[in-house]
């Protein structure tokens, strides 16, 4: 299971991965947290670009501060 981690959640992702590992889940489900840098995404990429990148790479997006307005917003 691959997660695309928004640039502002790096520390949170490390804590989450540590908790998942300490509970033994990594033995059952491979989990990988992938950064924007690894995906060659700029931290100011539009929501649409971030979402399409996650979807095209079959990743779950972990984010907390994407744009709340505009045509490219992840908010409905």
Domain ranges within the chain, ordered by starting residue: 2-62
Residue 68 has pLDDT above 60, yes or no: no
In 3-state terms, what secondary structure has residue 39?
Answer: coil
* Residues 6 or more apart in contact with residue 49 via CB below 8 angstroms: 41, 72
Q: What is the pLDDT of residues 27-54, one digit of tens each?
A: 888 888 999 999 999 988 888 899 999 9
The pLDDT value recorded for residue 13 is 78
48-57, long-range: CB < 8 A, 24+ apart: 48/72, 50/4, 50/6, 50/74, 53/4, 54/4, 57/2, 57/4
Q: How far is CA 69 from the centre of its chain?
A: 20
How many angstroms separate the CA atoms of 66 and 45, rounded?
9
């Amino acid at each position: 299971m691959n997660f695309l981690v928004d640039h502002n959640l790096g520390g949170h992702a490390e804590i989450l991965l540590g908790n998942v590992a300490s509970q033994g889940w990594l033995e059952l489900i491979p989990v990988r947290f992938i950064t924007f840098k690894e995906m060659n995404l700029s931290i100011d990429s539009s929501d649409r670009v971030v979402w399409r990148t996650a979807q095209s790479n079959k990743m779950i997006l972990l984010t907390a501060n994407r744009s709340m307005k505009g045509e490219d917003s992840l908010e409905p």
